[in-house]
Each structure stands twice: as C-alpha cells, then as structure tokens.
Amino acid sequence: MMDSGWPEPAMALDGGDDGLDLVRILVDQSIEKLNPGGWLVIEAAWNQMEIIEEILKKAGFHATAIHQNLGARNRVVMGCLA
C-alpha cells in the first residue's frame, strides 16, 4: 500500500462539534504572535467561511474578507489584527 502523503493531525480532522476548534485555537494564539496590523489568513471549507469571519471579528480582527478560489468558491478568510 502506498503512502498517500503526510498524515493530517487528529485535531485537524476532529474539530469539535462544529469542526472549528482548531480555528479558534489558531485565532487565539495569533493574537499573541501578530503585531498590530498583521494579517491572519485561513484556508477552510466554503461552508465555514462566514463562521470563521465572525470568530475573527469577535477576537478583534478588522477588515475581514472572504476570497474565492479559481473555481469561484469561497476558500480563504482573512482579517487584520487591530
């Protein structure tokens, strides 16, 4: 059997009730690591974009935006740390 690539961390595959536990941890940790004016960019499933954008806003990020991929599907959400 061939290896199909690097294994995903268990936390990335089991993100809690809504699948976003890891995103919440990442957003919280980024506040400690980013300088004011720094950007956090997250790639995720299209149906999680609006929820992640709200998580960013509640954490103090502004200028949030959702961007589409070449297939015209929401794929990236980003925000600037105030």
For 26-59, write each residue's pLDDT tens digit.
999 999 999 999 999 999 999 999 999 999 999 9
Domain assignment present for residue 3? The answer is no
Domain assignment present for residue 5? The answer is no
Within 8 A by CB and 6+ apart from 34, the residues are: 40, 81
Is pLDDT at 17 greater than 80 in this prediction? Answer: no
Is pLDDT at 1 greater than 60 in this prediction? Answer: no
pLDDT at 36: 95
Domain assignment present for residue 1? The answer is no
The CATH number for 31's domain is 3.40.50.150
pLDDT-based confidence at 14, cuts 50/70/90?
A: low
